[in-house]
């Protein structure tokens, strides 16, 4: 008995020579998160799609498979109610024929609260009869763009088989001197397509035909649309440190207000400070270094106030005395002066305009009009006369 027990060896292992071999349990499928379902396939049916798949390639345990469906059109981008199944196949019912859907299948493991996901796309198709002439496409709409038009349509309502969709593009308003040929394009499935290389502002007619090869034809629907260029945005052109001269300042009869004075007085949006050209949608903002530059034609540029950095010298005002209007025009452009308009000279003058003294040479002296009297200055004699 003792000899026989020695031949069997240890109970939990096998001894070979001086080595002992033991069997140890592995981690199992529940210890790793599932990879995506393998071999996901979609079969298009009438108003439905059947999905089939295999278990994850890494052999992980799966609690259930979660299926999410999303329609790819812009009109219905929200996901449909999700479905759960322990099987390797499911049929999604209640889908719209001709609408392309995307299907997501997740191998879900409760232990990891997730898992890998695969996806596939398919379009349900109605059972059709080659003997039936397709009716016109439904729900045809056109959305104008910049040099293009987006067309969207749905399948016909009858049971005719549609092999392709033919789109004809022609100018709706043909000129007798100029005529554009009709363009034709073909598509395999109903959805939304972009017709490009069009001229903005030209009205086009788009006709979409549900074409059957067996019947050599099919119904069509038409829609009118004209591509449009995007609206030009307002632009503010900053002009720092000077603004157009008024008549009194241009003639040198007063000291013009500086940019800082205009900003402190809240006059940054006055017509001579902010010239708005509605045709070109351009705003010229003078004294922009203290007034700012706003692209909104309905609002004036906000003065920066005294907290702004020190004002730069105002060109032609602080540094140069304008001796004539011609000198002023050399600094301020003629177009800016033409666009500017002062309500009065006091709107641009720091001090009221004062006439220059009248002078007349008498040979031995000069007559100067001062106040209510006349003073003649010459040599050492000073002669004054009053009325």
Q: Tell me the per-residue pLDDT of 154-168, one tens digit each, with 9 for 90 and over.
A: 888 888 888 899 999
Residues with Cβ within 8 Å of 252's Cβ and at least 6 positions away in sequence, in order, are 321, 322, 323, 324
DSSP letter string over 270-312?
A: STTTEEEETTTTEEEEETHHHH---S-TTSPPPP--TTSPPPP
Give 257's pLDDT tier (boundaries 50, 70, 90): confident
Residues 266/294, Cβ–Cβ less than 8 Å:
no
Residues 313/271, Cβ–Cβ less than 8 Å:
no
Residues 196/112, Cβ–Cβ less than 8 Å:
no
DSSP letter string over 46-69?
A: TTEEEEEEE--TT----SEEEEEE
Residue 320 has a pLDDT of: 36
**Residue range 354-373: average pLDDT?**
49
Residue 238 burial (10 A CB sphere; 0-12, 13-18, 19+): middle
**Residue range 9-23: average pLDDT?**
53
What pairing do the DSSP bridges indicate for beta strands 282-286 and 235-239? parallel
Predicted model pTM? 0.42
Q: Tokens for 202?
A: 């030209």
Higher-confidence residue of 262 and 362: namely: 262
Residue 301 has a pLDDT of: 52
Residue 178 has a pLDDT of: 66
**Residue range 247-263: average pLDDT?**
79
Residue 119 has a pLDDT of: 94
CA distance 23 to 345: 107
**Interval 47-84: pLDDT, tens:** 899 999 999 999 899 999 999 999 887 545 567 788 99
**Residue range 184-206: average pLDDT?**
89
**Beta partners for residue 213, in sequence order:** none
Residue 44: which of 118, 97, 104, 117 has the closest Cα?
97
**Interval 297-311: pLDDT, tens:** 875 554 443 333 333
**Interval 121-134: pLDDT, tens:** 998 887 888 889 99
**Residue range 29-39: average pLDDT?**
90
Mean pLDDT of the chain: 75
């Amino acid at each position: 008995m003792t000899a026989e027990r020695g031949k069997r060896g240890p109970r939990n292992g096998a001894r070979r020579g001086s080595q002992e071999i033991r069997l140890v349990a592995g981690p199992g499928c529940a210890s790793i998160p599932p990879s995506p379902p393998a071999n996901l396939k979609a079969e298009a049916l009438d108003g439905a799609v059947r999905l089939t798949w295999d278990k994850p390639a890494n052999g992980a345990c799966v609690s259930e498979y979660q299926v999410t469906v999303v329609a790819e059109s812009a009109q219905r981008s929200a996901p449909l109610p999700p479905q759960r199944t322990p099987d390797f196949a499911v049929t999604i019912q209640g889908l719209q024929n001709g609408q392309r859907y995307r299907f997501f299948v997740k191998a879900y493991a409760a232990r990891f609260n997730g898992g890998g996901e695969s996806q596939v796309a398919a379009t349900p198709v109605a059972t059709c009869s080659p003997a039936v002439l397709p009716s016109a496409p439904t729900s045809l709409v056109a959305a104008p763009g910049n040099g293009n038009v987006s067309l969207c349509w749905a399948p016909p309502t009858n049971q005719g088989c549609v092999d392709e969709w033919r789109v004809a593009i022609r100018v709706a308003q043909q000129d007798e001197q100029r005529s554009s040929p009709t363009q034709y394009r073909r598509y395999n499935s109903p959805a939304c397509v972009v017709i490009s290389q069009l001229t903005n502002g030209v009205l086009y007619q788009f006709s979409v035909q549900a074409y059957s090869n067996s019947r050599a034809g099919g119904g069509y629907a038409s829609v009118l649309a004209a591509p449009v260029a995007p609206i030009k945005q307002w632009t503010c052109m900053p002009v720092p440190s000077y603004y157009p001269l008024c008549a009194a300042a241009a003639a040198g009869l007063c000291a013009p207000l500086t940019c800082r004075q205009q900003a402190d007085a809240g006059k940054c949006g006055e017509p001579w400070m902010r010239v708005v050209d509605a045709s070109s949608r351009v705003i010229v903002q003078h004294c922009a270094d203290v007034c700012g530059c706003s692209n909104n034609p309905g609002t004036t540029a906000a003065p920066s106030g005294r907290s702004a950095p020190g004002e730069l010298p105002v060109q032609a005002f602080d540094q140069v005395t304008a001796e004539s209007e011609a000198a002023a025009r050399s600094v301020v452009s003629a177009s800016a002066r033409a666009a500017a308009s002062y309500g009065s000279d006091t709107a641009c003058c720091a001090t009221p305009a004062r006439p220059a003294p009248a002078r007349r040479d008498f040979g031995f002296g000069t007559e100067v009009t001062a106040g209510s009297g006349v003073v003649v200055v010459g040599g050492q004699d000073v002669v004054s006369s009053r009325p």
